[in-house]
Chains A and B, each alone.
Chain A
Amino acid sequence: MFSFLRAKGPALSKAERYAQATQLQLTWWRFRRHRLAMISGIVVALFYVIAIGADFLATTDPHATDSRTSYITPQPIHFFEDDGSFRPHVSGLKGVRDPKTFKLIYTVDPNRHVPVDFLATGYEYSFLGITTTRHLFALRDPQRGDGIFILGTDQLGRDVWSRLMVATRVSLTIGLVGVTISLFLGVLLGGISALYGGWVDTVIQRTIEVIRSMPTIPLWLGLAAALPNDWSVTAVYFSITIIISLLAWTDLARVVRGKFLSLREEEFVMAAELAGASTGRIIFRHMLPSFMSHIIAAVSLALPAMIISETSLSFLGLGLRPPAISWGILLQDAQSIQSLALAPWLLAAAVPVILVILAFNFLGDGLRDAADPYG
């Protein structure tokens, strides 16, 4: 995967390899020594793998409701039958009549084993334009109400695990799209601010200050309230992304401006200018590469902020709205004390939020240290 980082020939001595190492290689070597950041990088990568394969990892249609399966406790997958043979299965459900209310309620029947198959067929979904029914695992021949409830179900009987998988995709990509937009805005406006200076700089800087001084929650409230109720899930998704990134670009713009200004004073930039280099060459050959790594680090620190923003907005009911699924929306289900007391597993969505945020922060710190050991 990192073969591009390796030095060209095997014949180079250690010192010579070091001497001919690009800044990218040096950064990678330094980063590799940073244990926590390395682990965090792997964690982040795994999360994005989940985001890509969300439907494949899901077991049940995350939108399918079924009143009979409401609040099922988490059900482990048993890998061995009682006789010790390897036959993965889960317990089935059975209906019992409540002796007082005479309502039919469903509980787990440990005696009925429903076999689980790997790479089996389940509900239909489309991925990259391919419509398929292939899942990592699925029940062999489920009866009505049967399902793999690794993390239990919510009030409407939807499988929390499957919803969590799909939510991971939504929440993580909202961060990516948001960061891309704010990266674009940040680099553009930060660059303009630094290169033109004068009143352009003043206007941009004052704008940034105004944006940063606005309290975010009321602002989000207002903007989110302005979104029409009848918009589709996708439209809301993109609007939220844009709202978040419109506020988040300011940090990046500052980093970029600061870097541009300090690089302009660097003597190697002046040397290129004195050799007659064009402005374009100076910017793209000398300045941009010098702070690419800073941008990467800034991005990896901005991503978790985006994710948190989306999660909190949705949690407050201001961001995505059901039937969309995101971490914030899953947590919203766990808002009331009753539901928590009845079904504490609904909090499961908090775990990936915490994990991802921590991992991104450690990763960003590690990248920054590796990119700029003296700064």
Chain B
Amino acid sequence: MTGAATLLEVNGLKKYFPIRKGLLRRVVGQVRAVDGVSFAIRKGETLALVGESGCGKTTVSRCILRAMMPTAGSIKFTIAGSTVDLATLPRKTLRPLRRHMQMVFQDPFSSLNPRMMVGDIIGEPLLINGMSDRAARRKRVLELMELVGLPGAAINRFPHAFSGGQRQRIGIARALALNPELIVADEPVSALDVSVQAQILNLLLDLQDKLQLTVLFVAHDLSVVKHVADRVAVMYVGRIVELAETEALYHRPLHPYTEALLSAAPTPVPGAVSQRIILERDIADPANPPPGCAFHPRCRHAEARCRETRPELEEIEPGRFVACLRANELALRGIAAMTGPAL
């Protein structure tokens, strides 16, 4: 895995939203939704982006797909041996590149046009990208439907006839239609029922093996991430605070926020909560982040310098990135320490 080439490299990505007020809609401030995010995804791996609501996960994924124009930073995408910076590409040049990266959405209801038949929904990217022959398109759509486990008989049905899990399969089939290199999945299972969630997670795992997909998997839930990710990036208020291989991150987190997130994840083991870390206060406001380390007001290990100096994301061990001034001195608890019997 480590030898594989880098497919996507994000550097210093920023996205600020202006806050406007008054009749003249003057800009009175900025929401720093994404404030300097850097990471790389290797070909064929799954990188998970985890964090709580409002930390900027969706904004990062939309910037990468250029559904939004980033404020600053570069997004280097390597395709067929050449590298382009998606962050600065003009719309015209961008359009032919879109087929190489597709998105799976969170909401299985709003992500499918209720007025189009399943076949047309899955076939739309094909049609747009030049497959105008109806029969060929139909054949490919049926192929895709089989791939994601939908009955071919459903091709003429409308989305309203499907359950949430099946709709998510339709969304995945649509994303796969153009054989993309990169799939960005923004919380693809968050809106699903527990029993269906597992089906979709498995489907994603299978598809990745079959098609050698590279996946950016966005989630707010560390337990879901554990089942799909090769590496995990933890975000807090617009920045990545820790990035590491999955196993390492769960066993020995290096950032206090990762530790707290891990300990807060509900575990289906009665009596496992005795040592839960409960964070005080609310998540910081990205329009008005605290000075220094954004996490310091909630951090049990914060010191005076955390209030002043903002830690940068650094590789303190091979493959382990963390943005914490005390990363080297703290011994934080991973999953093994927190619960009694493992499942």
Closest chain B residue to A266 by CB distance?
B110
B125 at interface by CB-CB < 8 Å: yes
Which residues does chain B contribute within 8 Å of A286, judged by CB atoms?
113
Cα A18 to Cα B159 with chains together (Å):
11
Q: Which of A218-277 contact B (CB under 8 A)?
A: 266-268, 270-277
B151 CB to closest chain A CB (Å) equals: 11
**Distance in Å: Cβ of A321 to nearest Cβ of chain B:** 43
Q: Give 1 or 0 for each of B106-133: 1 = CB within 8 Å of chain A CB.
A: 1100111111010000001100110000
What separation, in Å, do the CA atoms of A65 and B98 have in the docked complex?
Answer: 75
Which B125-172 residues have a C-beta within 8 angstroms of A? 125, 128-129, 154, 156-158, 160-161, 171
**Which residue, A19, A26, A266, A272, has most C-beta atoms of chain B within 10 A?**
A19
C-alpha spacing A295/B98, complex, angstroms: 33
Nearest-neighbor residue (CB-CB) of A198 within chain B = B25
In the bound complex, what is the Cα–Cα distance between A271 and B168 (angstroms)?
A: 13
**Residues of B contacting A289 with CB < 8 Å?**
115
Known A-B contacts A272-B124, A275-B129; A19 and B103 likewise in contact (beta carbons under 8 Å): no
With known contacts A26-B160, A271-B174, A290-B115, A276–B110 Cβ distance under 8 A: no
B46 within 8 A of A: no
Do residues A267 and B98 form an inter-chain contact, with CB atoms below 8 A?
no
Q: Which residues of A contact B160 (CB under 8 A)?
A: 19, 26
- Per the bound structure, the CA–CA distance linking A202 and B24 in Å amounts to 9
| A204 close to chain B: CB less than 8 A | no
Contact A270 B67 (CB under 8 A): yes
CB-based contact B105/A271 at 8 Å: yes
Query: Given A267-B105, A267-B110, are A273 and B158 also a contact pair (CB < 8 Å)?
Result: no
Residues of A within 8 Å of B124, CB to CB, are 272, 275, 277
Q: Which residue of B lies closest to A281 (CB)?
A: B128
Asked whether, in the complex, the Cβ of B157 is within 8 Å of the Cβ of A274, the reply is no
Residue A23 at the B interface, CB < 8 A? yes
Q: Which residues of A contact B113 (CB under 8 A)?
A: 268, 272, 286, 290
- Chain B residue contacts of A290, Cβ below 8 A: 113-115
Residues of A within 8 A of B115 (CB): 22-23, 289-290
Q: Which residues of A contact B156 (CB under 8 A)?
A: 20
Complex: A267 Cα to B112 Cα, angstroms: 7
**Contact of B95 with A by CB under 8 A:** yes
In whole angstroms, how far apart are the Cα atoms of A21 and B161 in the complex?
9
Write the chain A residue with the least CB distance to B108.
Answer: A267
User: How far, in whole Å, are A289 and B117 apart by their CA atoms in the complex?
Assistant: 14
Tell me the smallest distance from the CB of A235 to a CB of chain B, in Å: 41
Which of B105, B129, B154, B174 touches A276 (beta carbons < 8 Å)?
Answer: B129
Shortest Cβ gap from A26 to chain B (Å): 7
B178 interface residue, CB < 8 Å from A? yes
| B158 & A21 in contact (Cβ 8 Å cutoff) | yes
**B102→A275 contact, CB < 8 A:** yes
Is B99 an interface residue when CB atoms closer than 8 A count as contact?
yes
Residues from chain B with a CB closer than 8 A to the CB of A266 are: 110
Q: How far is the CB of A12 from chain B (nearest CB, A)?
A: 10
Chain A 188-232 interface residues, beta-carbon cutoff 8 Å to B: 202
Q: Do A268 and B111 touch across chains, with their CB atoms under 8 A apart?
A: yes
**Which residue on B lies nearest to A206, using beta carbons?**
B23
| Distance between Cα atoms of A20 and B155 in the complex (Å) | 9
Residues of B within 8 A of A268 (CB): 110-113
Contacts of B111 in A (CB 8 A): 267-268, 271
Residues of B within 8 Å of A270, CB to CB, are 67, 103, 105
**From A20, A21, A275, contact of B125 by CB (8 A):** A275
Contact A276 B98 (CB under 8 A): yes
- Nearest CB on B from A23, distance (A): 5
The answer to whether A267 and B99 touch across the interface, beta carbons within 8 angstroms, is no
Cβ of B65 < 8 Å from any Cβ of A?
yes
Q: Given B102, B158, B178, which contacts A23 in the complex, CB threshold below 8 Å?
A: B158
> Whole-angstrom distance between the alpha carbons of A100 and B117 in the complex?
83
Residue of B124, B154, B174 most packed against chain A (CB within 10 A): B124
A248 to chain B, nearest CB (A): 26
The docked-state distance in angstroms from the alpha carbon of A281 to that of B125 is: 12
Q: In the assembly, what is the distance between CA of A276 and CA of B112, in Å?
A: 16
B318: Cβ under 8 A from any A Cβ: no
Interface pair A20/B110, CB less than 8 Å apart: no
- Which one of B102, B128, B177 lies within 8 Å of A277 (CB-CB)? B128
Interface-central residue, B67, B112, B113, by most chain A CB under 10 Å: B113
Chain B nearest CB from A295 CB (Å) reads 14
B22 within 8 A of A: no
Kindly name the residue among B115, B177, B178 whose own CB sees the greatest number of chain A CB atoms within 10 A: B115
A16 to B114, CA, bound (A): 16
Considering only CB atoms, which chain B residue lies closest to A265 in the complex? B110
B103 touches A274 (CB 8 A): yes
Most B-side CB within 10 Å, residue of A16, A202, A268: A268
Bound CA–CA A281/B128 (angstroms): 9
Question: Which residues of B have CB within 8 Å of A275?
Answer: 98-99, 102, 124-125, 128-129, 174, 177-178
CA distance A26 to B160 in the complex (A): 10
Q: What is the bound-complex CA distance between A26 and B177, given in angstroms?
A: 29
Q: Which residues of chain B have C-beta atoms less than 8 A from A274's C-beta?
A: 65, 67, 98, 102-103
Instruction: State whether B128 touches A276 (Cβ < 8 A).
Output: yes
B81 in the interface (beta carbon within 8 A): no
Q: List the B residue with the shortest CB-CB distance to A289.
A: B115
Q: Which of B25, B161, B178 contacts A19 (CB 8 A)?
A: B161
A16's nearest neighbour on chain B, judged by CB, is: B157
Q: Does the CB pair A19–B174 fall under 8 Å? A: no
Q: Smallest distance from the beta carbon of A195 to chain B beta carbons, Å?
A: 15
Which A residues, 147 to 190, have Cβ-Cβ distances below 8 Å to chain B? none
Does B96 count as interface, using CB distance less than 8 angstroms?
yes
Cα A286 to Cα B113 with chains together (Å): 7
Given A274-B67, A276-B129, 16 new contacts (CB under 8 A)? A19-B154, A19-B160, A19-B161, A20-B158, A267-B107, A268-B111, A272-B128, A273-B67, A274-B98, A275-B98, A275-B128, A275-B178, A276-B99, A278-B128, A281-B128, A290-B114
Residue numbers of B with Cβ under 8 A of A are 25, 65, 67, 95-96, 98-99, 102-103, 105-107, 110-115, 117, 124-125, 128-129, 154, 156-158, 160-161, 171, 174, 177-178
7 pairs, A vs B, C-beta closer than 8 Å: A267-B107, A267-B110, A271-B105, A276-B98, A276-B129, A277-B124, A277-B128
Task: Kindly list the 9 A-B residue pairs having the minimum CB-CB distance in the complex, ordered from nearest.
Answer: A19-B161, A275-B125, A267-B111, A19-B157, A268-B113, A267-B105, A276-B98, A267-B110, A23-B115
